[in-house]
C-alpha cells in the first residue's frame, strides 16, 4: 500500500486519473447506462398493447430511413443551419464590440448577454406568442406604421420557429467567440496595420482566423441543440414545421412507441457525430 501511495505522489498522470474518477462514475451512471438502455430498446418491436417484445429486429431502423421521415430530417437540419448562420451574423459583431470596445463595462455587457438564462427557456418561448400573434406587439407596431393593412400570420410558420431558435441560442454563439477575441494578441493587429493593412484586411487576415476556434465552438454549441430542440417548434410552429425532436417526443409521450423513438434518436445521434467529425476535419485542414 505504501508503494502505491509513493507511486501516486510521483505520477501526475495517475493523480489526474484519480481526480477524474467522480466525473467518470457520473458519466457512466447518468449518460452511458441510459444511452445503452435506449440503444437496446431500439432493436425490439412492440405489440398492440405497447409492450416491448423480447425478439430482436431492425424494422425500427428501416422505418426511420423510409422516405416518409426524410422531409422532417431535411427541415430540421435546414432550421438548425439557418439559425446557426443568423446567430453567427449577430453574435460575432456583438462579441467583437464587447471584447474590443467594452472597456470597464465588459462585465455589464456580458451580464446582458447572459440575462435571458435567468428565465426559463419555456417561458421565453411562450413570450414570443405575445409578440407574434395577430393582436401582438409586432402586428400592432406594423399596423401603427401602416406598413401592413391587416395582421400578418407570423405564428405557426418557419419564420416564427427560426426566430425563436435564434433568440434562444444566440448566447451560445456569442460567448465562445467573445472568449477567443478576448484572448487575441492585439499587437498582431497593430503590426498588420503598421505594415499597411487596412482595417478590413486586418480583420479578415488576422482577427477572423485567430478567432476561428470560438466560431467553431459557437457553431457546434448552436447547431447541435437546435437539431434536437422540440419546444420552439411545438409552441411557435405548426404541423408544417415539425422537427425531428417533436417526432421523437411524440413517439415516447404520445404514441408510446419507445423502440421507434429510440431508433430515431440513435440515427440522429449518428448523423450528428458524423457531421461534427467531418466539420472538425474541414476546419482543421483550413487552419493548417
> Each residue of 217-232: pLDDT tens digit?
899 899 999 998 999 9
In a domain, residue 41? The reply is no
Query: Sorting pLDDT into bands at 50, 70 and 90, what band is 82?
Result: very high
Residues 114 and 213 in one domain: yes
**What percentage of the chain exceeds 90 in pLDDT?**
39
Tell me how many domains the chain contains: 2
By the 8 A CB rule, do 232 and 168 touch?
yes
Between 251 and 2, where is the model more confident? 251
Looking at residue 169, its pLDDT comes to 94
Residues 6+ positions from 107 with CB-CB distance below 8 Å: none
* pLDDT at site 288: 42
The pLDDT assigned to 4 comes to 54
Cβ burial of 113 (10 Å; 0-12, 13-18, 19+) is: middle
Cβ(121)–Cβ(168) below 8 Å: yes
Residue 94 lies inside a defined structural domain of this protein: yes
Residues 13 and 83 in one domain: no
Same domain membership, residue 152 and residue 23: no
Is 247 contained in some domain? yes
Where helices occur in 102-157 by DSSP H, the ranges are 106-114, 121-132, 137-144
What mean pLDDT value characterizes the chain?
Answer: 87
Candidates 165, 136, 171, 150; CA nearest to 236 is 165
Q: State whether 220 and 279 are in the same domain.
A: yes
The residue ranking higher by pLDDT, 89 or 271, is: 89
197 within 8 A of 163, measured Cβ to Cβ: no
Q: What is the largest CA-CA distance in the chain?
A: 84
213, 101: one domain: yes
Give the pLDDT score at 284: 57
Residue 261: exposure state from Cβ atoms within 10 A (0-12, 13-18, ≥19): buried
* Domain span including residue 85: 69-287
Query: Model confidence over 128-169: pLDDT tens digits?
Result: 999 999 888 999 999 988 888 888 889 999 999 999 999 999
Please state whether the predicted TM-score (pTM) of the whole model is above 0.75: yes
Instruction: State whether residue 46 is helix, strand or coil.
Output: strand
- Domain-located, residue 206: yes
Amino acid at each position: 500500500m505504501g508503494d502505491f501511495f509513493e507511486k501516486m505522489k510521483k505520477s501526475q498522470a495517475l493523480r489526474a486519473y484519480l481526480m477524474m474518477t467522480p466525473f467518470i462514475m457520473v458519466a457512466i451512471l447518468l449518460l452511458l447506462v441510459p444511452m445503452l438502455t435506449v440503444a437496446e430498446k431500439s432493436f425490439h418491436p412492440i405489440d398492440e398493447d405497447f409492450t416491448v417484445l423480447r425478439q430482436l429486429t431492425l424494422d425500427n431502423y428501416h422505418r426511420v430511413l423510409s422516405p416518409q421521415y426524410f422531409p422532417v430530417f431535411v427541415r430540421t437540419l435546414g432550421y438548425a443551419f439557418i439559425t446557426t448562420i443568423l446567430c453567427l451574423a449577430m453574435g460575432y459583431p456583438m462579441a467583437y464590440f464587447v471584447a474590443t470596445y467594452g472597456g470597464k463595462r465588459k462585465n455589464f455587457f456580458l451580464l446582458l448577454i447572459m440575462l435571458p438564462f435567468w428565465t426559463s427557456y419555456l417561458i421565453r418561448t411562450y413570450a414570443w406568442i405575445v409578440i407574434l400573434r395577430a393582436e401582438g406587439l409586432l402586428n400592432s407596431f406594423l399596423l401603427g406604421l401602416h406598413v401592413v393593412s391587416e395582421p400578418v400570420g407570423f405564428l405557426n410558420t418557419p419564420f416564427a420557429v427560426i426566430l425563436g431558435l435564434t433568440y434562444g441560442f444566440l448566447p451560445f454563439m456569442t460567448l465562445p467567440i467573445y472568449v477567443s477575441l478576448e484572448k487575441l494578441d492585439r499587437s498582431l493587429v497593430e503590426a498588420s496595420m503598421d505594415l499597411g493593412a487596412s482595417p478590413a484586411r486586418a480583420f479578415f487576415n488576422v482577427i477572423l482566423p485567430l478567432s476561428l476556434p470560438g466560431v467553431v465552438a459557437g457553431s457546434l454549441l448552436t447547431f447541435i441543440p437546435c437539431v434536437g430542440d422540440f419546444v420552439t417548434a411545438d409552441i411557435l410552429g405548426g404541423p408544417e414545421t415539425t422537427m425531428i425532436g417533436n417526432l421523437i417526443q411524440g413517439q415516447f409521450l404520445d404514441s408510446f412507441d419507445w423502440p421507434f423513438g429510440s431508433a430515431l434518436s440513435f440515427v440522429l445521434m449518428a448523423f450528428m457525430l458524423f457531421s461534427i467529425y467531418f466539420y472538425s476535419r474541414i476546419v482543421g485542414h483550413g487552419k493548417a
